[in-house]
C-alpha cells in the first residue's frame, strides 16, 4: 500500500528509493522540508548531478542524506558546513547544499556556521530548527524557548534561545530567511532564492518535532504545533516596529538579508589567477 | 574523473618553479615541498607551533600551482574540509601539532571509515596539553594509533631528517592514494625547525601515485566494495553523476547505512583492516645499520634515530657490536622484522623523546631472554649521542 503512494508521488524521482521509507516519525516537519527542497530543485530545473548535499548528525540531517538522489555526504555531528567548504572549493560549479538540524549546525557546529557566513562561501544551508535534540531523545538545545521543558530541562529551560537567522545575517551571509513548516510556499521560494544566490545563504525552517518537543510542551499533535507557529509568527517588516518584550516568544519570519558580497571561492580563484599572472606562470 | 595535480600543466609549473638542487631549509618547508611534488593541491589548516611554517609555505606556493590554501576556523573544520575536497578529486593535506591533532581525531576516524585519502602531518611537540608548545617531542606515537575511537587501522610514517621528510611526505601521499586511507606523518618540532641542506630532485625522480577510480558504472555503484580483491574500493568522485552516498555510519558496499546487521559492520570493518594489513608491501619501511652481527640493538624513530646512529657508530669504534633498527612506517609496526632481529640480539634499547611509547610496541615482539630497556628523555631537548652511547655501554 505504502509503495503505491510513493510511486505515484511525482517528485519520487528525486529520492533514493532503496533508502525509503524515511526514518522520520509520522508528523515530523522533516518531511515538509524534504518536500520543499525537492520542489525547489524541480522548479529551478536543477539536474541532481549538479548537486552535492552535505549533512551532519541528527534527525534533520537525514532529510536529504541519504534520501535525496544526489552525491550526498553524511558527516560527523556539527561539521557539515566545514566538509561542504572543501566540496565547494573542489566543485565550484555545483550547487552545494547543507541540510541539518539546529543542534548540529548552531550548537556544536556554530563556529563553522558563523565563519562560513563571514567568508560568504557559496553554500546553501537549510537549517531545520525544531527547538530540541530530536535524535538523542529530546534534550535541551540552544534554540529551546525560554521556559520550555525537555528531558534535560525537566523543570523548565532557563537559557535564552539563540536567534540563528539574526546572528548569521549579522555575520555577513548573502541571503538569510526564516519560515516555519506552516509557510510551505514561502519556504520553497526562499530555498529557490538561496540556491541561486552567489554567496552564503541560510534558510532557517522552524519545524515541528511532535515526538520529542511537542509531547513535552502540551502539543503532541503535529497540527497543534503548526497552529502554534501560525499564531506566533510575525513578519519581519512588522517585527521591526515591535519591542523586545512584544517579540518574546514570537517567530520572526521573512527575508532578513538579500545582498551581494564578494564570494569566497570566486575570490580564491581570482587570487590564484593574480598570483599566477604575477609570477608569469600562466600557460605559455 | 581527474585527480588534481597530475596534469602536464602541473608538471610544467613544478619544473618552472622549483629548480632541482640543494637548498638550505627547515624540515617544515621540506614537508611542504614534498606535498607539492606529490600533487597536493588543497591544504586546509589552523596554525599551531611548531607546524606553522608548513601552512605558511603552502599558502605562499599553492596559488602558484593553481592550488588552494584554506585557513579554517579550527582543526576540526580543517580535516573536515580536507575530506570534502578529497571526494572531489584533490590530493589533500593538513599539518598540526598535539592539541590540534587531538581535535582532528573524530574526523580522522571518519576518514578511515569512509576510506578518504588524506595526509595529516603531526609535528609532535612537548605535552601533555599545551606543555612546552615550542619544543619538540615524540609523545604522539599512540595518539596516532589509538587517538580516534573504535576498531580502526592506521598508517603512520616518521621521517628522521629534513631530507627524509621531503620523501616521506611524498610516500605518505602515495600510500594514502593507493590504499584510499588517511596517512599520518609523525614529524617533530626539532626536525621541523632545524635548517639543513635539502636536495630538491627533478620531478621525474618522484613516484606519484593516484587513487583507483571506477572503471565502469558497476564499480561506481559500489564505492565501498572490493572488486579487485585487494580490499581497496575504487573511489567514485563527487560531481560525476554517480549519486554516491558517503557516511561515517556503518554502510553496505553501495554506501547506504545499515547499522543493525552485525554482518555488515563486521564485513566493512574487517575489510578496512584487511586492506591495511594485507597490503604491507605498499607501506612497510624500515632502515637498518649493522644489524647483521649486532648483539645490542638500538631501536629508534624520528628525530632520535640520528643521535642513535651516532651512538651506534661510536660503540662500534669502541668494539661493541651494536646495531640500529629504525621503523620508518611506525604503524602498522614492522612486526616480522622486529621479531627476527629480536631473536639475534642479547639486548634491545629503545631510544625516544618520551617516557616510553614505541618500547611498548617493541616489547610485543621480543622473547623474555632479551634485555629490554628504554632510553628516554623529555623536556624538549633531543637525546644526545653520548646519552645513548652511555646506555649501550651499560648493557655491553
Ligand atoms: C560529537 C558528537 N556529540 C554528540 C553526538 C550525539 N548526537 C547525535 S544527534 C545530536 C543532536 C541533534 O540535534 P539536532 O541537530 O537539533 O537534530 P534533530 O535530531 O533535532 O533533528 C547529538 C547531540 C554525536 N553524534 N557526536
Ligand atoms: S524525533 Fe522529532 S525531529 Fe526526530 S524524526 Fe521524530 S519528530 Fe522528527
Kindly write down the DSSP assignment for every residue of B311-372, as one continuous string.
HHHHHHHTT--EEEEEESEEES--HHHHHHHHHH-SEEEEEESSSSSHHHHHHTT--TTSEE
Looking at residue A107, what DSSP letter applies? Answer: I
A32-53 average pLDDT score: 97
- Banded model confidence at residue A282, pLDDT cuts 50, 70, 90: confident
Ligand 1 pocket test, candidate residues A25, A30, A57, most atoms within 8 A of CB: A57
Query: Does A82 sit within 8 Å of B17, measured CB to CB?
Result: no
Q: What is the residue extent of each domain of chain A? A: 24-236+243-279
Q: Please tell me the distance from the alpha carbon of residue A238 to that of residue A111, in angstroms, as a whole number.
A: 30
For domain B286-395, give the fold. Rossmann fold (3.40.50)
- What residues contact residue A214 under an 8 Å CB cut-off, 6+ apart? A208, A220, A221, A222, A224, A225
A69-82 average pLDDT score: 98
Question: Average pLDDT over chain A, rounded to whole?
Answer: 96
pLDDT of residue A262: 98
Torsion of CA B154, B159, B160, B162, to 10 degrees: -160
What percent of chain A stands above pLDDT 70? 97
Inter-residue contact A77 to A56 (CB < 8 Å) = yes
State the first-to-last Cα distance of chain B, in angstroms, to the nearest integer.
Answer: 59
Query: Does B16 sit within 8 Å of A82, measured CB to CB?
Result: no
Distance (Å) from CA A104 to ligand 1 centroid: 6
How confident is the model over B29-61, as pLDDT tens digits? 999 999 999 999 999 999 999 999 999 999 999
Q: Is A238 on the interface with B (CB under 8 A)?
A: no
Residue in B112, B123, B262 with CA at minimum distance from that of residue B185: B123
Residue corresponding to grid cell 532578513: A256
A219-228 average pLDDT score: 96
Q: Please tell me the distance from the alpha carbon of residue A262 to that of residue A199, in angstroms, as a whole number.
A: 8
**Span(s) in chain B for CATH 3.40.50.970:** 9-205
Ligand 1 pocket test, candidate residues A133, A138, A140, A216, most atoms within 8 A of CB: A133
**Span(s) in chain B for CATH 3.40.50.920:** 286-395
A33-47 average pLDDT score: 97
**Ligand at shortest distance from the CA of A220:** 2
A56-74 average pLDDT score: 97
Q: Please tell me the distance from the alpha carbon of residue B159 to that of residue B119, in angstroms, as a whole number.
A: 14
Is CATH 3.40.50.970 what the domain over B9-205 is classified as, yes or no? yes
- Given phi > 0 = left and psi -120 to 50 = alpha, else beta, which region is A21? beta
Residue identifier of the C-alpha nearest atom 1 of ligand 2: A134
The dotted CATH code for A24-236+243-279 is 3.40.50.970
A231-258 average pLDDT score: 97
How confident is the model over A88-123, as pLDDT tens digits? 999 999 999 999 999 999 999 999 999 999 999 999
A265-281 average pLDDT score: 97
Pocket of ligand 2 contains residue A134 by CB under 6 Å: yes
pLDDT of residue A284: 62
A45-60 average pLDDT score: 98
Residue identifier of the C-alpha nearest atom 5 of ligand 2: A24
Cell numbers at residue B195, please?
A: 635548517
pLDDT of residue A1: 42
pLDDT of residue A8: 63
Q: Is the four-CA dihedral A125, A131, A137, A139 of positive or negative sign? A: positive
* pLDDT under 50: residue ranges of chain B: none
Annotate A25-55 with b (16+ C-beta within 10 A) or e (fewer).
Answer: eebbbbbbbbbbbbbbbeeeebebeebbbbb
Instruction: Calculate how close chain B gets to A69, using CA atoms only, in Å.
Output: 6
Residue numbers in B near A71 (CB within 8 A) = 87, 238-239, 242-245
Q: Please tell me the distance from the alpha carbon of residue B84 to that of residue A48, in angstroms, as a whole number.
A: 18
pLDDT of residue A5: 45
How confident is the model over B309-331, as pLDDT tens digits? 999 999 999 999 999 999 999 99
Amino acid at each position: 500500500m505504502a509503495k503505491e503512494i510513493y510511486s505515484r508521488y511525482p517528485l519520487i524521482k528525486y529520492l533514493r528509493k532503496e533508502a525509503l521509507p524515511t526514518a522520520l516519525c509520522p508528523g515530523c516537519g522533516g518531511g515538509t522540508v524534504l518536500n520543499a527542497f525537492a520542489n525547489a530543485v524541480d522548479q529551478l530545473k536543477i539536474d541532481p548531478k549538479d548537486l552535492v548535499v552535505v549533512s551532519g548528525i541528527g534527525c534533520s540531517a537525514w532529510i536529504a542524506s541519504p534520501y535525496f538522489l544526489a552525491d550526498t555526504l553524511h558527516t560527523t555531528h556539527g561539521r557539515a558546513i566545514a566538509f561542504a567548504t572543501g566540496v565547494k572549493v573542489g566543485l565550484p560549479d555545483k550547487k552545494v547544499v547543507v541540510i541539518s538540524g539546529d543542534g548540529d549546525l548552531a550548537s556544536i557546529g556554530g563556529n563553522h556556521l558563523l565563519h562560513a557566513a563571514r567568508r560568504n562561501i557559496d553554500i546553501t544551508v537549510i537549517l531545520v530548527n525544531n527547538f530540541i535534540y530530536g535524535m538523542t531523545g529530546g534534550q535541551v538545545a540552544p534554540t529551546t524557548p525560554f521556559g520550555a521543558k525537555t528531558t534535560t530541562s525537566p523543570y523548565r529551560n532557563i537559557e535564552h534561545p539563540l536567534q540563528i537567522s539574526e546572528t548569521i545575517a549579522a555575520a555577513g551571509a548573502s541571503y538569510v530567511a526564516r519560515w516555519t513548516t506552516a509557510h510551505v510556499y514561502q519556504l520553497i521560494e526562499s530555498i529557490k532564492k538561496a540556491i541561486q544566490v552567489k554567496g552564503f545563504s541560510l534558510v532557517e525552517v522552524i519545524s515541528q518535532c511532535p515526538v520529542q518537543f511537542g509531547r513535552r510542551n502540551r502539543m503532541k499533535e503535529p497540527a497543534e504545533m503548526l497552529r502554534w507557529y501560525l499564531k506566533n509568527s510575525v513578519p519581519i517588516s512588522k517585527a521591526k516596529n515591535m519591542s523586545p518584550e512584544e517579540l518574546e516568544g514570537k517567530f520572526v519570519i521573512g527575508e532578513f538579508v538579500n545582498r551581494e558580497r564578494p564570494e569566497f571561492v570566486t575570490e580564491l580563484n581570482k587570487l590564484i589567477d593574480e598570483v599566477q599572472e604575477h609570477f608569469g606562470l600562466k600557460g605559455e | 574523473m581527474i585527480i588534481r595535480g597530475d596534469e602536464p600543466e602541473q608538471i610544467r609549473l613544478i619544473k618552472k618553479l622549483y629548480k632541482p638542487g640543494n637548498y638550505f631549509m627547515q624540515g617544515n618547508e621540506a614537508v611542504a615541498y614534498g606535498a607539492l611534488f606529490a600533487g597536493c593541491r588543497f591544504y586546509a589548516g589552523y596554525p599551531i607551533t611548531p607546524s606553522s611554517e608548513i601552512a605558511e609555505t603552502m599558502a605562499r606556493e599553492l596559488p602558484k600551482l593553481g592550488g588552494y590554501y584554506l585557513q579554517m576556523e579550527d582543526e576540526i573544520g580543517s580535516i573536515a574540509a580536507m575530506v570534502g575536497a578529497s571526494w572531489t578529486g584533490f590530493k589533500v593535506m593538513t599539518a598540526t601539532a598535539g592539541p590540534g591533532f587531538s581535535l582532528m581525531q573524530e574526523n580522522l576516524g571518519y576518514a578511515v571509515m569512509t576510506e578518504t585519502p588524506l595526509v595529516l602531518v603531526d609535528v609532535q611537540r612537548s605535552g601533555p596539553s599545551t606543555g612546552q608548545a615550542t619544543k619538540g617531542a615524540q609523545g604522539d606515537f599512540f595518539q596516532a594509533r589509538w587517538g580516534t575511537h573504535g576498531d580502526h587501522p592506521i598508517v603512520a610514517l616518521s621521517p628522521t631528517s629534513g631530507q627524509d621528510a621531503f620523501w616521506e611526505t611524498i610516500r605518505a601521499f602515495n600510500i594514502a592514494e593507493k590504499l584510499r586511507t588517511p596517512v599520518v606523518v609523525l614529524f617533530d618540532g626539532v626536525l621541523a625547525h632545524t635548517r639543513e641542506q635539502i636536495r630538491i630532485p627533478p620531478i621525474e625522480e618522484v613516484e606519484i601515485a593516484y587513487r583507483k577510480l571506477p572503471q565502469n558504472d558497476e564499480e561506481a555503484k559500489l564505492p565501498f566494495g572490493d572488486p579487485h580483491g585487494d580490499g581497496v574500493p575504487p573511489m567514485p568522485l563527487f560531481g560525476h553523476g554517480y549519486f554516491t552516498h558517503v557516511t561515517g555510519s556503518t554502510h553496505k558496499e553501495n554506501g547506504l547505512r545499515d547499522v543493525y546487521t552485525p554482518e555488515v559492520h563486521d564485513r566493512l570493518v574487517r575489510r578496512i583492516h584487511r586492506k591495511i594489513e594485507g597490503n604491507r608491501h605498499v607501506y612497510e619501511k624500515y632502515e637498518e645499520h649493522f644489524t647483521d652481527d649486532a648483539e645490542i640493538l638500538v631501536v629508534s624513530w624520528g628525530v632520535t634515530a640520528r643521535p642513535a646512529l651516532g651512538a651506534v657508530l661510536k660503540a662500534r669504534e669502541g668494539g661493541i657490536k651494536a646495531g640500529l633498527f629504525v621503523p620508518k612506517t611506525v604503524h602498522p609496526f614492522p612486526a616480522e622484522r622486529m621479531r627476527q632481529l629480536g631473536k639475534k640480539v642479547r639486548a634491545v634499547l629503545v631510544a625516544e623523546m618520551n617516557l616510553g611509547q614505541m618500547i611498548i610496541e617493541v616489547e610485543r615482539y621480543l622473547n623474555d631472554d632479551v634485555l629490554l630497556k628504554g632510553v628516554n628523555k623529555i623536556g624538549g631537548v633531543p637525546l644526545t649521542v653520548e646519552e645513548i652511547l652511555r646506555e649501550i655501554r651499560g648493557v655491553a
